[in-house]
Structure 1
Amino acid sequence: MRVVLAGGGTAGHIEPALALAEAMRRLDPSTSITCLGTERGLETRLVPARGYDLQLIPAVPLPRTLTPALLSMPGRLSGAINAAAAVLDKVRADALVGFGGYVAAPAYLAAKRRGIPIIVHEANPRPGLANRLGARYAAHIFSGHPECSLPKADYIGTPLRGQIASLERFSMGDKARSWFGLQTDRPTLLVFGGSQGARSLNHAALAAAPTLRRAGVQVLHMLGPKNTLDEEPPPGDPQYVVLPYVDRMELAYAAADLALCRAGALTCAELTAVGLPAAYVPLPIGNGEQRINAATIERGGGGLMIDDSDLTPDWIIQNVLPILRDPNRVAAMSEAASALGRKDADVVLARKVLSL
């Protein structure tokens, strides 16, 4: 079977696509997989690193709603559709699976033109324009969130990397902390803002660092590849480890007792799958899907939520620090987070695709 995967731009689109690719290869090693992407997205690094064929088409950013901006797009969109159709022809695609993002809309329209079955996976409760478009032509629609607004979407969860879906966080804890140069017997906070980082989280966590360290808390802080620090935290114990990016996120999750992070669909899916509680800071722009993601987990007892505008060093000290100093509360929140997670979406979706 020859399958084309369309999902590019951010890790939230790319990682589920690659997780599906890995699951399909496990179920049927003869499956041919091609990923569509653009030259501006993270897929140019992530897809080749995982050993999959990447074909690039022009990027055509779509608005989230039908606006006058669409009037300037027909020429650019037509070129991207033609490029996507050429890839489908070249690989003789049997199916297209789209995850949203810049490449998905032209890929859906190209597959419709060629009569190729379309499968849509929407990770967020509120889909973007590309997946709303794709859902009109899709043979099957699947969602990563139980409150997804796409009609007839079948909730299966979000496909996750095998290393994360199979992670035994507690048994890996000591090894993971040693990997990052952390001590094995201290409460550990993981700070990250998604694949690109988040300045508001970076500033608040760094300003709270002296108090956290005096309280015996060590920190693993991922800044984001394009973010820099004016001044590194001073060395000493407990450790405050700052890294631009971490490829082995399963180790970061295993090392932590609690996370301070954004509430993207992939982040929430991964943290609940591994049972890691978090203080979620939804992205203040967009269509509000991150707030819905975090609210679902907060209601279930697996995390806290704070508006980006209200996040301060004092809030971290008053709300995050007491949790880290209470092992029983950490354990209860971990169990609640785990109850909300889905670990098998990659295999479920792979079987659906291969059944075509």
Structure 2
Amino acid sequence: MTAEKLTIGTPLDTGAVVIGDVPDTEGFDRAQVSLDDSGFHFTLSLEPGALVLGLGEAVRGQNKRGHIYESWNSDDFSHTEDKRSLYGSHNMLLIDRPSPEIWFFDTPGRITFDVAATDPDRLFVDAASPNLTIYHLQAATPLEAVQEFRRLAGKSWLPPLFALGAAQSRWGYRTETEFREIASGYRQLDLPLDMICMDIDYMDGFRDFTLNQTEFGNLKQLSADLKQDGIRLIPIIDAGIKEDPDYGVYREGLEKGYFCTMENGEPFVGAVWPGFSVFPDFLNPEAAAWFGRQYQGLLDLGIEGFWNDMNEPALFFSRPGLDKLNRIWNQFQKDESGFLSFESAVSGL
């Protein structure tokens, strides 16, 4: 078993690697790596027929050869064959060759994997940022390579048994009565049901960690009653925190600097279900721990699992984007002839 890494530039600590005993090495063939104005580039030769596995959630089959994939998360409900990215980024590839090996590219930014699509005998990896860490693991068998990667990145958390069961999930359940009717209907039809997911309507104005007191003011009793029948409630939590000075979660996160910011230091504001919202900076350990503590109120009501949604993060639009559109429109209106093109307006910004 061998493990080595190569640090490129000044990468962020993403927390993806939980052990610190992999030294930087000169064993890499640096001809595989190049940097230019467009970012980082990596090339690896592939034997004909060698399986290339990994990359987590993606369309198509287990063998990734012949396609291009992108770690740039997208809230895209249409999982068609032409899609390069879905909801998660898993920058690990297992190559089943005579000496099986794993390549892991530790970066939170955009990264593209051309797995023998452009060239049938090569893997091309391109990252927008020239700051990342590459880990290379080799072993006698694919199983040993995966075991070493689990040591590197941490063993998987084992979910509770009910989380492996059947879940009923759809948007539109707005009352306690509806949840009780769903549970009763499943049991009457002798259908398995272990969880019912609660979408955004259980919240007060779509604010995370709040309750619509009119319809779900007795959530603790509802949770207990359904649990007696072997069913857990799984409420949704979105990544966007409503921009509202009367909302304690927003106010505290803003005061402590826990939200993602733009280059000028102002919080980045995007629009999701509650309207204009800010987003916790999960690369800040203090912010991540703070956000995690917000779940306690729901745990105290008997909730045992959560549906974490919109973590791409998914946006309808952003305040900076609206500001740019307003500037385009204002520039457009200044043209006395009324024939100023959209392209001219944009170029004038």
Q: TM-score, normalised by structure 1?
A: 0.24
Q: Quick check: which has more Rg, 1 or 2?
A: 2
Looking at secondary structure, tell me which structure has more helix per residue: 1
Q: Which has the higher contact order (CA 8 A, sep 6+)?
A: 1
Q: TM-score, normalised by structure 2?
A: 0.25
Looking at secondary structure, tell me which structure has more strand per residue: 2
